[in-house]
Chain A
Amino acid sequence: MSSRLRLWVLAAGGLGVAVLFVLACFDLPAFGGLRHPYGDRAVHAALARHTANTVSSVNFDQRAFDTLGEESILFGSVVGTVVLLRQTRDEGRLPPEPATVAPPVRRYALIALPVTLLIGLYVIAHGQLSPGGGFQGGVVVATALHLLYIAVDYRALERIRPVGLYEVADAAGEAAYLLVGTAALVTGAAFLTNFLPYGTFNTLSSGGTVPLLNAAIGVEVACGVVVLLARFLDQAVEIESGDRDDEAEAGT
């Protein structure tokens, strides 16, 4: 198909979608409308289970099974990336060059690392109370570790980052989610039922299984993102295709 023809097909399709979409927009409930039947019921259910953050309650309690599916997508794409970006036989490793970092940047990054880590853990731990949770906090924690790459260099990051352990922890997070779900079966309830006591409203221990599942997701997301970034950094900084100009270093 020539590129001109392709553009015409695209224009026709885009126009069709646009017309149908605009027509549909005028039939949707108006923006800012007052009728939200599902929302009202979800809020009611969350309050009945003593979870202050309704969004977390929906994610980890009312629709926990759906989140299991989402989590599996995350797990699957991490595994896929690891497989795709592995070091192949014809590629060699170059030791990463030590980078010179300006002292103020190094100081800032070394201070910011624990602060960011703490904020990430705070976001995970308060998931059932205030905005946040395992998904957001996990990403923040993973980003915090990479401040070491900014502060020192890639070799320093590699030293505190045994990728194998993070891969195991990633799987452990996924397994923990399943185990908490299965524990509900032992008590005679359905899979992923919120079987723990609900606790006092608006305290850290409220929400039954919500904090547990939150933590499991937090571990999985943090470790998954660390593993992902490790693969990308390996590819961009270390791995050279050995069949070209780096034959000499390809010994490892």
Chain B
Amino acid sequence: MSGWTAAAAALLLCGVAPAACGAATGPVRRRVPAQNLTTTLLSLVILLLAQGYGRPAYTDPALVLAVLGPAGTLLYVRLLADQLAAHPPRPRSLLAVTALSYTAVPAVVLPLCVATGPGRAMVKLLVIGVLLVLGSRVAARAVTAAVSAGHGRTGPAEGMSDG
């Protein structure tokens, strides 16, 4: 097993699995940020595996996940805005999730860039990294915005408030 694959397994065990647990249990306010964190970390795991198997072609799923993961999170925020506004997540935990992805993305992408060397593959890696950072940033912002919009509103206008 190469070092890259070992790193992927470690990230899977210590990053993706706890994040997935957070997204699978608990209230909606925890699930939405945790879901976004899971997609970000899984995308990094895929990048590590691609390097470990020596197959640049395997980065395509990571690329797709880097754009569709935040899209999924934003959909959740949009459709569950009422529940998020009713029970807003703590700003500190949101900040922690964002900080975690901010550190994890460069910590994985930059060594991969060094390993691949300059070229088309490196540009692709950097694009994925930028998309991941932007995605996790906007996910946190969207949650905050949904919460403040919900407080400004008088009643649930649209959405799925639990009856």
- The interface residues of chain A lying within 8 Å CB-to-CB of B86 are none
Asked if B145 contacts A131 (CB within 8 A), the reply is no
A-B contact pairs, 7 of them (CB 8 A): A108-B138, A116-B71, A130-B57, A131-B58, A136-B64, A146-B71, A146-B75
B33 within 8 A of A: no
The chain B residue sitting closest to A120, CB to CB, is B64
Name the interface size band of chain B.
20 to 34
B7 within 8 A of A: no
Q: How far is the CA of A123 from the CA of B157 in the complex (A)?
A: 39
Partner pick for B78 among A119, A123, A143, A150, CB 8 A cutoff: A150
Asked if B71 contacts A147 (CB within 8 A), the reply is yes
B158 within 8 A of A: yes
Q: How far is the CB of A80 from chain B (nearest CB, A)?
A: 24
**What are the 10 closest A-B residue pairs judged by CB atoms, nearest first?**
A102-B145, A108-B138, A104-B141, A116-B67, A150-B74, A105-B142, A130-B57, A131-B60, A97-B158, A131-B57
B54 within 8 A of A: no
A215 within 8 A of B: no
A217 within 8 A of B: no
A3 within 8 A of B: no
Q: How far is the CA of A104 from the CA of B74 in the complex (A)?
A: 12
Which residues of B are interface residues toward A (Cβ below 8 A)?
57-58, 60-61, 63-64, 67-68, 70-71, 74-75, 78, 131, 134-135, 137-138, 141-142, 144-146, 149, 157-158
A97-B158, A136-B64 known; A112 and B70 CB under 8 Å? yes
A108-B134, A119-B63, A146-B75 given. 7 additional CB < 8 A pairs?
Answer: A108-B138, A116-B68, A131-B61, A136-B64, A144-B67, A150-B71, A237-B158
A115 within 8 A of B: yes
The chain B residue sitting closest to A105, CB to CB, is B142
Asked if A109 contacts B74 (CB within 8 A), the reply is yes
The chain B residue sitting closest to A109, CB to CB, is B74
- The interface residues of chain B lying within 8 Å CB-to-CB of A97 are 157-158
Q: How far is the CA of A106 from the CA of B70 in the complex (A)?
A: 13
Binary CB contact string for chain A from 137 to 152 against chain B (1 if under 8 A, 0 otherwise): 0001001101101100
Q: How far is the CB of A35 from chain B (nearest CB, A)?
A: 22
Q: How far is the CA of A101 from the CA of B149 in the complex (A)?
A: 9
